[in-house]
């Protein structure tokens, strides 16, 4: 495997992705825990990430000495280049304004790092980050590439297999960067591509069996990709020691609850308890307009319903479940390196089952903890889940309740479901579903005047939202053409009673969020 030591760069996760894309397992660890992680993982190669600090500052982060002593190959990127050079006896000069941008590197000497990719004498575009710079290389290093502002764009000590770049090979703005990382992993470290989803599946099945023994596992199945993939995998490992609980809160999209139950119970034979708790949820939500209060009510009810179900399951005399399965992903697990410190502000209380394990004294089974979202999708394919299910847009735990500003009623839920289904139908027909990260309708608590035939109407406004995003953290509104929007609006107004006006939301995130509440 490859260990990535994180010095706090915004793009460290991309390094892990690039390594995994070439079929090699990689893990990210914050620099403060790198020594332990290096000792336990025993990686065959190490990558130092970039980072916002200045190596010249007192107390700035360093790589553990053990990494250098072990003799494993190292790739140092940006801050990683600087700390590597400094720690091996080179010199770094600070005081340059930090600056990011495109630059061309000129190749001065051959290197296995860009074998088959770049040629000596050629010039190639990279995404450079200037700030501090190395002014004297450690002994044994030579310059392999330069750029106008970076005399040591690439410097390496080939005999010790240490490679350093002042640019970021992990970002797409360095078009050949992924190939350089592949060369490092395959040619320099010498690792083969054996990190595949087929291998992962087999290994996880073994691990789940070892962890669970003959115990019982509960899984909260939401119908989302993560919990579904986790459930199918766990079922493959332990069969009917697993019970899935699908809590239908009545806030799902059109036909969604039925589809989830049919697919998992009938098609996958998962032991699935379908709890219709819609009365309970909608009853408590009726008339509640404050978004945070809605979210809290839903979170509390979810836990209550789940606890009730766990008790019912234990009533069969085969013991109460000791394990709770969750579809936690790697990005939720990676400890981030924060230099600013300080708690971040809560924008929205996210709905999840986080509070359950302590309350019910259960251990977690999290078979997706090591995976990125696209890897979970690949694992889903490996497990035979249908493509249209794997590519589904994310759907928030609190469901349609947070797409109904002003309060939830059954009637409004029905109107919203119909509008949403038409919108998504048109998006699919236009072939745009996979390009868009998430699209949905919102029903506004506003009535406006319209005219249909010879009648005056006074009905609700529907807002349409569609965004592109990589991780949901930032997003851009999707630039539909007007003909498409016109078609959707006409269909919604004609086919959905209760809506007589449609608007399109052109807010990006930030400053907006993706959901309206």
Residues involved in catalysis = 78, 168, 170
Which H, E and C letters describe 68-119, residue by residue?
Answer: HHHCCCEEEECHHHHHHHHHCCCEEECCCCCEEEEEEEEECCCCHHHCCCCC
CB of 457 to ligand XMP, least distance (A): 31
CB of 224 to ligand XMP, least distance (A): 7
CA distance 459 to 448: 6
Q: Quick one: DSSP state of residue 403?
A: G
> According to the binding rule CB under 6 A, does residue 405 interact with ligand XMP?
no
Q: Token pair for residue 116?
A: 């088959």
Count of residues in contact with ligand XMP, rule CB under 6 A: 13
CB of 359 to ligand XMP, least distance (A): 19
Is the Cβ–Cβ distance between 3 and 35 less than 8 Å?
Answer: no
Per-residue x/- marks for ligand XMP, 112-151, CB under 6 A?
----------------------------------------
> According to the binding rule CB under 6 A, does residue 318 interact with ligand XMP?
no
- Ordered DSSP codes for 474-502: SBEE----HHHHHHHHHHHHHH-TTEEEE
Among residues 73, 70, 74, 83, which one has the least CA distance to residue 8? 83
454 among the known binding-site residues? no
Question: Closer CB to ligand XMP, residue 202 or residue 473?
Answer: 473
283 among the known binding-site residues? no
Is 358 buried (19+), middle (13-18) or exposed (0-12) by CB count in 10 A?
exposed
Q: In the block, which residue shows the tokens 């479940």?
A: 321
> According to the binding rule CB under 6 A, does residue 285 interact with ligand XMP?
no
> According to the binding rule CB under 6 A, does residue 89 interact with ligand XMP?
no
Segment 213-252, which members bind ligand XMP (CB under 6 A)? Answer: none
The only residue of 135, 269, 474, 513 in contact with ligand XMP, by rule CB under 6 A: 513
CB of 517 to ligand XMP, least distance (A): 8
> According to the binding rule CB under 6 A, does residue 296 interact with ligand XMP?
no
> According to the binding rule CB under 6 A, does residue 165 interact with ligand XMP?
no
Among residues 122, 171, 126, which one has the least CA distance to residue 150? 126
Question: In the Cβ-directed half-sphere of 341, how many Cα atoms lie within 13 Å?
Answer: 0
- Return phi, psi of residue 444, to 5°: -85, 150
Q: Give the chain's largest Cα–Cα span.
A: 87
Segment 424-483, which members bind ligand XMP (CB under 6 A)? Answer: 438, 472
227 among the known binding-site residues? yes
> According to the binding rule CB under 6 A, does residue 394 interact with ligand XMP?
yes
The only residue of 351, 403, 418, 501 in contact with ligand XMP, by rule CB under 6 A: 351
CB of 397 to ligand XMP, least distance (A): 4
Segment 319-348, which members bind ligand XMP (CB under 6 A)? Answer: 348
3-state helix, strand, coil in the chain (%, to 5): 35, 25, 40
222 among the known binding-site residues? yes
Among residues 291, 485, 490, which one has the least CA distance to residue 398? 291
177 among the known binding-site residues? no
Helices 225-238 and 373-382: angle between axes, nearest 10 degrees: 50
Please state, as a whole number, how many other Cβ atoms lie within 10 Å of the Cβ of residue 329: 19
CB of 514 to ligand XMP, least distance (A): 3
Annotated binding site for ATP: 222-228
Annotated binding site: 222-228
State the residues that interact with ligand XMP by CB under 6 A.
Answer: 348, 350-351, 394, 396-398, 438, 472, 509, 513-515
């Amino acid at each position: 495997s490859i260990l990535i030591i994180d010095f706090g760069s915004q793009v460290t996760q991309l390094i892990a992705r690039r390594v995994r894309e070439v079929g090699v397992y990689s893990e990210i660890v914050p620099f403060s825990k790198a020594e332990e992680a290096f000792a336990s993982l025993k990686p065959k190669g190490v990558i130092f990430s970039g980072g916002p600090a200045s190596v010249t500052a007192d107390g700035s982060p360093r790589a553990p000495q053990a990494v250098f002593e072990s003799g494993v190959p190292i790739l140092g990127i940006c801050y990683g280049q600087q700390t590597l050079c400094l720690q091996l006896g080179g010199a770094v000069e600070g005081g340059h304004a930090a600056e990011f941008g495109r630059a061309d590197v000129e190749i001065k000497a051959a290197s296995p790092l860009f074998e088959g990719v770049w040629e000596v004498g050629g010039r190639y575009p990279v995404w450079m980050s200037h700030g501090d710079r190395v002014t004297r290389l450690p002994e044994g290093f030579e310059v392999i590439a330069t750029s106008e502002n970076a005399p040591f764009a690439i410097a390496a000590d080939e005999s010790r297999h240490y490679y350093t770049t002042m640019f970021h090979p992990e970002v797409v703005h360095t078009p050949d960067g992924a190939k350089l990382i592949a060369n490092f992993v395959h040619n320099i470290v010498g690792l083969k591509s054996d990190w595949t989803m087929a291998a992962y599946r087999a290994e996880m099945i073994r691990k789940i069996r070892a962890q669970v023994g003959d115990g019982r596992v509960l899984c909260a199945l939401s119908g989302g990709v993560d919990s579904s993939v986790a459930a199918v995998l766990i079922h493959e490992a332990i069969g009917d020691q697993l019970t899935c609980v699908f809590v239908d809160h009545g806030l799902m999209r059109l036909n969604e609850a039925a589809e989830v139950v049919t697919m998992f119970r009938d098609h996958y034979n998962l032991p699935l308890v379908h709890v219709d708790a819609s009365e309970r949820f909608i009853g408590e939500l009726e008339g509640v307009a404050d978004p945070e209060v809605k979210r809290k009510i839903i979170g509390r009810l979810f836990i209550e319903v789940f606890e009730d179900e766990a008790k019912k399951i234990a009533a069969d005399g085969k013991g109460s479940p000791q394990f709770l399965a969750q579809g936690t992903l790697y990005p939720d697990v990676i400890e981030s390196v924060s230099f600013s410190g300080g708690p971040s502000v809560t924008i929205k209380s996210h709905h999840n089952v986080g509070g359950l394990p302590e309350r019910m004294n259960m251990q977690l089974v999290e078979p997706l903890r090591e995976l990125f979202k696209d890897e979970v999708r690949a694992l889903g394919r490996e497990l035979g889940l249908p493509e249209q299910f794997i590519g589904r847009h994310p759907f928030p735990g609190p469901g349609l309740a947070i797409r109904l500003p002003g309060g939830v009623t059954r009637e409004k839920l029905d109107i919203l479901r119909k509008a949403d289904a038409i919108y998504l139908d048109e998006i699919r027909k236009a072939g745009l579903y996979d390009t868009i990260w998430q699209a949905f309708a919102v029903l506004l608590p506003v009535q406006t005047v319209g005219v249909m035939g010879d009648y005056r109407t006074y009905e609700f406004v529907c807002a349409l939202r569609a965004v592109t995003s990589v991780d949901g953290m930032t997003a851009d509104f999707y630039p539909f053409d007007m003909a498409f929007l016109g078609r959707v609006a006409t269909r919604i107004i004609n086919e959905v009673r209760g809506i007589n006006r449609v608007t399109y939301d052109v807010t990006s995130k930030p400053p907006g969020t993706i959901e309206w509440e």
